[in-house]
Amino acid sequence: MIPPEPGGPWPCVVIGGGAAGLLAGIFASRGGAPALVLETRKSPGAKIRVSGGARCNLLPSEIAPEDFHTRGSTNVVRNVLQSWPLAEVRRFFEQELGIALKVEETGKVFPVSDDPREVVLGLLGALADAGGILVGSARVATLQRQGPDGPFEMQLEDGRIVRARRVCLATGGLSLPKTGSDGRGFLFASSLGHSILPLRPALVPLLALEPEWATLAGISLVARADVLRGDKRVDSRQGDFLFTHKGFSGPVVLDVSWHFTGETSADARLAMAWLGDGAPDWEALLSRGGRQTLGGTLREHLPRRLVHVLLARAGLEPEGALAGLSREGRKRLVRELSQCELKLAGDEGYRTAEVTDGGVPLAELRTQTLESRNVPGLHFAGEIVDVCGRIGGYNFLWAWVSGRKAGTAIASANRQ
Considering the domain boundaries, does residue 392 fall inside one?
A: yes
Considering the domain boundaries, does residue 4 fall inside one?
A: no
Backbone angles phi, psi at 135, to 5 degrees: -125, 120
Q: What is the pLDDT of residue 149?
A: 80
Looking at the fold, whether 253 and 157 belong to one and the same domain comes out as no
Q: Are 15 and 5 in contact (CB under 8 A)?
A: no
92-133 pLDDT, tens digit each:
999 999 999 999 999 999 999 999 999 999 999 999 999 999
Q: Are 370 and 402 in contact (CB under 8 A)?
A: yes
Q: Are 96 and 103 in contact (CB under 8 A)?
A: no
How many folded domains does the chain comprise? 2
The helix (run of H) or strand (run of E) holding residue 273 is: strand 268-274
Q: What's the start-to-end Cα distance of the chain, in Å?
A: 30
- Asked whether the predicted pLDDT for residue 1 surpasses 80, the reply is no
- Sequence-distant (6+) residues with CB within 8 A of 228 are 234, 268, 269, 270, 271
Helices (H), 55-134: 74-82, 86-91, 116-129
pLDDT band of 183, cuts 50, 70, 90 = very high
Domain boundary among 347, 363, 389: 347
More reliable by pLDDT, 179 or 348: 348
Considering the domain boundaries, does residue 5 fall inside one?
A: no
Looking at the fold, whether 179 and 307 belong to one and the same domain comes out as no
Looking at the fold, whether 222 and 254 belong to one and the same domain comes out as yes
Q: How far apart are CA 173 and CA 183, in angstroms?
A: 5
Domain boundary among 299, 329, 347: 347
Q: Are 359 and 260 in contact (CB under 8 A)?
A: no
Looking at the fold, whether 180 and 215 belong to one and the same domain comes out as no
Looking at the fold, whether 52 and 176 belong to one and the same domain comes out as yes
- Asked whether the predicted pLDDT for residue 179 surpasses 90, the reply is no
Q: How far apart are CA 246 and CA 235, in angstroms?
A: 24
Q: Are 158 and 56 in contact (CB under 8 A)?
A: no
Considering the domain boundaries, does residue 2 fall inside one?
A: no
Cα angle at 205 between 264 and 115, to 5 degrees? 125
Q: How far apart are CA 166 and CA 164, in angstroms?
A: 5
Looking at the fold, whether 238 and 185 belong to one and the same domain comes out as no
Considering the domain boundaries, does residue 7 fall inside one?
A: no
Q: Are 24 and 168 in contact (CB under 8 A)?
A: yes
Helix (H, G, I), strand (E, B) or coil at 340: strand
Least Cα distance to 83 among 409, 392, 375, 359 occurs for 409
Least Cα distance to 45 among 401, 409, 399, 413 occurs for 399
- Sequence-distant (6+) residues with CB within 8 A of 145 are 151, 152, 153, 192, 375, 377
- Asked whether the predicted pLDDT for residue 397 surpasses 70, the reply is yes
Domain boundary among 302, 326, 347: 347
% of the chain residues with pLDDT over 90:
89
Looking at the fold, whether 41 and 179 belong to one and the same domain comes out as yes
Looking at the fold, whether 177 and 274 belong to one and the same domain comes out as no
Looking at the fold, whether 90 and 134 belong to one and the same domain comes out as yes
Considering the domain boundaries, does residue 1 fall inside one?
A: no
- The region, left, alpha or beta by phi > 0 then psi within -120 to 50, assigned to residue 147 is left
Residue 61 CB burial class (10 angstroms; 0-12, 13-18, ≥19) = middle
Look up the CATH number of the domain holding residue 184.
Answer: 3.50.50.60
Considering the domain boundaries, does residue 371 fall inside one?
A: yes
Least Cα distance to 284 among 338, 223, 221 occurs for 338
Q: How far apart are CA 296 and CA 341, in angstroms?
A: 23
143-170 pLDDT, tens digit each:
999 877 889 999 999 999 999 999 999 9
Least Cα distance to 107 among 214, 239, 4 occurs for 239
Mean of pLDDT values over 247-270: 89
Looking at the fold, whether 172 and 215 belong to one and the same domain comes out as no
pLDDT band of 263, cuts 50, 70, 90 = low
Looking at the fold, whether 76 and 212 belong to one and the same domain comes out as no
Considering the domain boundaries, does residue 6 fall inside one?
A: no
Q: What's the domain range around 135?
A: 12-201+354-415
50-74 pLDDT, tens digit each:
998 899 999 999 999 889 999 999 9
Helix (H, G, I), strand (E, B) or coil at 98: coil
How far does Cα 406 stand from its chain's mean position? 20
